[in-house]
């Protein structure tokens, strides 16, 4: 096993610990033109956001007979299996040029090459998009009761069911999956004073494909490492979510077996609908994800996020 970053190793452990517990699911934030604004507190620091080549709108295979649910999606996203994260690293952490077993011959690439993608750009359907991911908490403006002006922001919350059935409120975490070019570069630019992203509430607005960003004053009490921030780290441990593990999962053989390759069946079967049954890739990107990571798959690919990161481009 080549080099493994501590964070990614932890991703594997978390996936293992949470296998079988399906009480809560972190969804991917879909920001549609004409909706919003969205208020976000980013948890992942700018320099630690994982990136990957993504197939955003892949046709799924026909609904398998073994699938127990009602809502088999027409399209699903995936991390391209030709992504550099699947190239084996040498002991110094440099890519060797050799892919891990079964990688480097992406099924979606081979299947969709030469087909034209829907939409105005007429791009080849097999061509992936370089996406960068961050975890964020959804925030809500708190209005002054008299002036109706925004006094500040608070966490949106969700119910989280503990194994004993009791309900605990947790911050509403979302995955933000966007391109550097039209999104993350704007977030960076909004931090004109070079501050730490996690110390700000960020308001995102969208008009057609243009995103605009405004940041709050730096928060004097809620910032990474502060006592108030502990509610985020504690909640993430409670729900067992790890962004690195999630990204690895989207490129795993299990993910491809589940959604795309009709000749393969995912380990552990298909199951049925769950609370993410709206899973699909729509015209605006990704909605909720289904299926928990297969711990073996997570382990097996754990080193590659580091490769993807260290060689991250900003296209």
Give the nearest distance from C-beta 126 to Zn ion in angstroms.
Answer: 7
Strand partners, 93: none
**For residue 12, which of 240, 198, 187 has the smallest C-alpha distance?**
240
Burial category of 142 from C-beta neighbours within 10 Å (exposed 0-12, middle 13-18, buried 19 and up): exposed
Quick one: 106 or 302, whose CB is closer to Zn ion? 106
Quick one: 129 or 196, whose CB is closer to Zn ion? 129
Give the nearest distance from C-beta 83 to Zn ion in angstroms.
Answer: 8
Q: Where are the alpha helices (DSSP H) in the chain?
A: 6-17, 107-112, 185-190, 230-239, 243-249, 253-259, 295-300, 304-310
Quick one: 109 or 253, whose CB is closer to Zn ion? 109
Q: Which residues of this protein are in contact with Zn ion, per CB under 5 A? A: 80, 82, 106, 108-109
97, HSE (Cβ side, Cα atoms, 13 Å): 0
Give the nearest distance from C-beta 207 to Zn ion in angstroms.
Answer: 31
Rg (CA), the chain: 20
Q: Which residue is nearest to Zn ion (CB)?
A: 106
Quick one: 108 or 134, whose CB is closer to Zn ion? 108
Give the nearest distance from C-beta 260 to Zn ion in angstroms.
Answer: 10
Please tell me the distance from the alpha carbon of residue 77 to that of residue 129, in angstroms, as a whole number: 11
Burial category of 258 from C-beta neighbours within 10 Å (exposed 0-12, middle 13-18, buried 19 and up): buried
Quick one: 108 or 288, whose CB is closer to Zn ion? 108
Quick one: 211 or 301, whose CB is closer to Zn ion? 301
Give the nearest distance from C-beta 73 to Zn ion in angstroms.
Answer: 19
CB atoms within 10 A of CB 173: 24
Give the nearest distance from C-beta 127 to Zn ion in angstroms.
Answer: 9
Please tell me the distance from the alpha carbon of residue 26 to that of residue 78, in angstroms, as a whole number: 17
Give the nearest distance from C-beta 85 to Zn ion in angstroms.
Answer: 12
Give the nearest distance from C-beta 132 to Zn ion in angstroms.
Answer: 17
Q: Provide the residue count of the chain.
A: 315
Does residue 127 contact residue 106 with C-beta atoms inside 8 Å?
Answer: no
Quick one: 84 or 206, whose CB is closer to Zn ion? 84
CB atoms within 10 A of CB 41: 24
Handedness of CA 285, 79, 13, 229 (dihedral sign): negative
CA distances from 75 to 155, 267, 301 (A): 32, 21, 24
Give the nearest distance from C-beta 64 to Zn ion in angstroms.
Answer: 22
Quick one: 103 or 270, whose CB is closer to Zn ion? 103
Quick one: 2 or 104, whose CB is closer to Zn ion? 104
């Amino acid at each position: 096993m080549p080099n493994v970053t501590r964070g990614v190793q932890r991703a594997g452990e978390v996936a293992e610990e949470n296998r079988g517990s399906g009480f809560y699911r972190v969804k991917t934030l879909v920001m549609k033109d004409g909706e919003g604004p969205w208020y976000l507190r980013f948890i992942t620091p700018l320099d630690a956001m994982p990136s990957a080549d993504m197939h955003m709108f892949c046709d799924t295979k026909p609904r398998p007979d073994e699938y127990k649910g009602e809502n088999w999606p027409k399209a699903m996203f995936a991390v391209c299996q030709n992504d550099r994260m699947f190239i084996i690293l040498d002991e110094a952490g440099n890519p060797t040029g050799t892919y891990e077993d079964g990688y480097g011959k992406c099924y979606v690439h081979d299947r969709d090459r030469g087909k034209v993608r829907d939409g105005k750009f007429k791009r080849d359907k097999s061509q992936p998009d370089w996406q960068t991911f961050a975890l964020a908490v959804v925030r809500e403006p708190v209005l002054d009761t008299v002036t109706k002006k925004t006094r500040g922001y608070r966490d949106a919350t969700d119910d989280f069911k503990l194994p004993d059935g009791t309900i605990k409120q947790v911050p509403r975490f979302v995955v933000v999956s966007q391109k550097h070019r039209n999104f993350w570069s704007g977030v960076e630019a909004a931090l004109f004073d070079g501050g730490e992203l996690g110390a700000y509430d960020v308001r995102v607005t969208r008009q057609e494909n243009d995103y605009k960003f405004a940041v709050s004053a730096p928060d004097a009490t809620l910032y990474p490492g502060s006592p108030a921030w502990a509610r985020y780290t504690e909640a993430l441990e409670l729900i067992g979510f790890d962004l690195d593990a999630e990204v690895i999962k989207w490129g795993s053989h299990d993910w491809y077996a589940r959604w795309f390759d009709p000749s393969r069946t995912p380990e552990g079967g298909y199951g049925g609908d769950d609370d993410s049954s709206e899973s699909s890739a729509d015209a605006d990107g990704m909605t909720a994800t289904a299926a928990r990571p297969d711990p073996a798959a997570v382990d097996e690919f754990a080193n590659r996020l580091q490769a993807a990161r260290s060689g991250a481009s900003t296209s």
